[in-house]
Structure 1
Amino acid sequence: MSALIAILPTSCALLATPAGERVLNISEVENFGAIDADADDLLRECFQDHPAYVAAKDQKKFLILGRKGSGKTAIFKRILTERHPNEFSYGHSFDDYPWQHHDLQAQVGVPEERRYFHSWKYLTLIGLAKVILNSDQSQPWSDESFESVQALEDFVVDSYGSRDPDVRQLFSPDKELRLKSVLKVPFFELSGERVRVRELPPHIQEVNRAIQEHILRALNPDNSYYICFDQLDLGFVKSEESYSQRLVGLILAARDLFLAGRERGKKLNVVVFLRDDIYQDLQFEDKNKITENFTSVVQWNESGAGLTLKRLMESRFTNVLGEGGASVVPWEDVFDETREMPSRQTKYKHICDRTFLRPRDVIKFCNEVLEQYKSPLFAARGQFDNEAVHEARSGYSDYLLNELDDEIAKHVPQYKEYLEVVKELGAMQFSLADFSAAWSRRSTLAEIPAKVGLAQLFEFSVVGYLKPGGRGGGSEYVWRYRDPRARFNATSEVFRIHAGFKEALDLTRQSV
């Protein structure tokens, strides 16, 4: 049971009116969850079975893509925390991973995209060995698996001193791997008995072949096994070639083990969670095959079939406002949609237009509306009304700008100067000529063409451009957050700032 539910008993969520009708007591709600999966107390109770999650659990897809904040980490945590007697998982999160040790494992004399292939495979195989030795109580499940489980235990314990070694120590240069006496596979012949990790690259292919064979023998075909990789964008610098090589190596290693398990009739998935914009920029052989056959995208819809942001919030409304076992609390019971916003939009559409269509954005906006609703200015009102939504925009816009800072700062160091140009324009909509004129007045940007700056703002969805309508209909704005494959078009005549930044950038006019 979540901490939030403990604070807010369901008996406090509804009140009875004198006429016997029941109305929502929204003012008793603390919040609708957190924007970060690690801090979201409602994540477990309100988790949505996104198709990407189902595809990973069913061993159909191994590469899960999505924009930052789209819910990849929520799926990662779900897979790791689910408890079923025949499912086992292990997760790698690299906020504290010793990359300097891993980098020493890069192989030379091989194609760049495969420099880290074997080191990732080794790391994954040791993760599976840890699961087999410490979590899978069905082991050994057969005579064949008995010898392999014993060989894996001998290797791990002799090499690392424990059945459950710290993954941060796997590539420590002075570690010594004990090979000959423990990795006995009839048709493999290892070239030595011991090898220090710093000297592993020339031997790692044959080491991996032996460990992989034991792993595949040991995996119980009645069980499901998951090794998951998340937070791979931490420390990401687009211009750093080695970073791209590491990611490509991981993707190829995950595919290799995913297919090897499938061929042996084992339920094994090596699940890689990666930002879709980063994946789009990677170049490697067989990328299109992986994209078409093994990739699932975490994407939320504004409306229509499948999972929508409205259904996401209705799940949370039900959790904190509904009675136990009660039917879903619909959006319209919380937000008064009988009165349109000044732009003649519904409140739901008004909010979605200010998000990047990510769960964290709509949760944050609803929490800001709740905070305004609970202030003395809005006391004693029933549902969230236009005024509460309007007052919430300022706090939400500051949040979105801070989110942008997290994403863009290390890639575009002068981005704050770019935003000063936007502030000088003071308008949501402008032409390239308007932008270029304001850009030229800033001496700090003299070495950067205005089109380059505008293109970089487009990459992070601060700016969209108007695409003229073709034979099929009218014009529309193109945004990178809606289509990660979209590319900047400097020939467009009209550009627009994302509505979520309006208040934070103090944009008071619709056009220049």
Structure 2
Amino acid sequence: MVFKKLAEQQGSQRGTIFLGAPEAEAEANYNSQMPLSAVYKDHCELIPSLAHEKFLIIGRKGTGKSAFAEYICAISQSEPNMFAKFIRQSDISFEGIIQAGLEGGHPINKDSLYQWLILTNILKLFSENTAIKESRDYNLLRQFLNKNSGYIDIRESEVTEIIKKQGFDINIDYLKRFFSTKLSKALEIKQEKAPFYKLIPHLKEVLISVLTSEFERHNHNSYVLFFDDLDIGFDAQNPASIKSLVSLIRASKEINNELFAKNSIDAKVVLLLREFNFEVRHSPMPPDGTLRIP
């Protein structure tokens, strides 16, 4: 890094005290003067709590929600059997995607959208495991994910116009072939493309198959998907905002409990929420799934 070299040459760091960057995202950067992974301490015991039924982390701005998630992601970079990533509202406007579908005459159900994002992003983490990248068994699954990457690694500016014109239809050729070769069964969809929501039960089947495989059990692989920046655009007085948040909580709880826990899959969806979100009386917060950062 050019500035780091210049600083060393000039001795500008000598005798200075660095108290940390203003945000966790900056300290998680590989150029950070104080790497988050080297200094973070889990004083709120979030890690042991998330090892069980908890999946909601709430707290005021600045209490360390994002710092914790960044810390876990930093660990995953050096831990070969741990995989973690963010889905940030600052990158994706869920409401923008919903609106684009409505404008194009392609209504999108929020619960289905969140389930699609969770399932495909967990599968993408699996497919990026270097230990299986050369495996022919999973090549078709990787090709399916790569073919539809624009609907998985979603960026609002790139996908909304496509959804307006074409809807949220997914190319399923490689998924069909994966079903026939790896799962030894046919995927009963005749079209070359299918609405994303029709694939959700099939993706759950794929996820159970690959994440309960002998390879996964032997290597003790684990997966974490964080949803962050959910306060961006949230309006506690707007029923649409409330409904969207509730849909995400419901989808995450269902997949954590009914898919991961019941099948002994070491994976979890974790939501990072500002405390003011919970002033909404209509939001069914499951008390057994909530962690509060004081």
Report the TM-score, using the length of structure 2 for normalisation.
Answer: 0.73
| SS of the residue 2:250 aligns to | helix
CA shift in 2, pair 1:68/1:192, >3 Å: farther
The aligned residue for residue 126 of structure 1 is 120
Q: Which runs of 5+ in 2 are unaligned?
A: 28-32, 103-107
Q: Which of 159, 178, 200 is 1:208 aligned to?
A: 200
CA separation of 1:120 and 1:215: change in aligned 2, threshold 3 A: same
- What is the CA–CA distance in structure 2 between the aligned matches of 1:44 and 1:73, rounded to whole Å? 13
Matched, 1:33 2:27: no
**Aligned residue number for residue 226 of structure 2:** 228
Contact 1:50 1:298 (8 Å CA) reproduced: no
* Matches of 1:146 and 1:97, distance apart in 2: 33
CA displacement 1:216-274 (0-9 Å, x = unmatched) = 22122311100111111112222222221111111111112212111111110111100
Q: Matched residues in 2 for 1:45 and 1:94: separation?
A: 27
Counterpart position of 2:30: none
Name the structure with the higher helix share.
2
Query: 1:97 matched to which residue of 2?
Result: 92
Give the SS at the match of 1:127.
helix
- Counterpart of 2:119 in structure 1: which amino acid? L
Question: Is the contact between residue 56 and residue 271 of structure 1 (CA under 8 Å) also seen in structure 2?
Answer: no
| Pair 1:160–1:38, CA change in 2 (3 A) | closer
* Residue in 1 that maps onto 2:154: 167
Q: Pick from 61, 71, 76: which aligns with 1:68?
A: 61
Which amino acid in the other structure matches residue 97 of structure 2? H
Q: 2:130 aligns with which of 137, 146, 157?
A: 137
Aligned equivalents of 1:226 and 1:251: distance in 2?
16
- CA displacement, residues 41-90 of structure 1 (integer Å, 9 cap, x when unaligned): 54443312133531465354211111111111101211111121110011
Task: Please state whether the residue corresponding to 1:92 is helix, strand or coil.
Answer: strand
Counterpart residue number, 1:333: none
Q: Say which SS state the counterpart of residue 225 (structure 1) adopts.
A: strand
Match of 2:243 in 1: 245
- Say which one has the larger Rg: 1
Corresponding residue of 1:296:
291
Structure 1 partner of 2:210: 218
For the residues of structure 1 that align with 2:89 and 2:246, how far apart are their CA atoms?
A: 16
Counterpart CA distance in 2 for 1:265 and 1:7 is 52
Q: Is the 8 A contact 1:64 1:296 kept in 2?
A: yes
CA distance change for structure 1 residues 225 and 181 in 2, over 3 Å: closer, same or farther? closer
* Number of the residue aligned with 1:489: none
CA spacing shift, 1:280–1:213, aligned 2, 3 Å: farther
Partner of 1:153: 142
Aligned partners of 2:115 and 2:252: how far apart in 1?
7
In structure 1, distance between residues paired with 2:66 and 2:123: 24
Identity of aligned residues (%): 21
SS in 2 for 1:132: helix
- Deviation sequence 1:85-131 (CA, Å, 0-9, x none): 1100111112132432244568xxxxxxx941110010111211221
Greater relative contact order, per chain length (Cα 8 Å cut-off, separation 6+): 2
> 2:144·2:173 contact (CA, 8 Å) conserved in 1?
no
The CA distance in 1 between the partners of 2:272 and 2:19, in whole Å, is 25
Cα shift at 1:275: 1.0
TM-score by length of 1: 0.44
One of 242, 253, 256 as aligned partner of 1:255: 253
Cα distance in 2 for residues equivalent to 1:195 and 1:102: 20
Following superposition, the deviation at residue 190 of structure 1 comes to 4.2
Cα distance change on mapping 1:160 and 1:71 into 2, 3 Å: closer
**CA distance 1:92–1:139, change in 2 (3 Å):** same
Structure 1, unmatched stretches of 5+, are: 13-27, 107-113, 300-512
Inter-CA distance 207–235: structure 2 relative to 1 (3 Å threshold):
same
Aligned residue pairs, count: 255
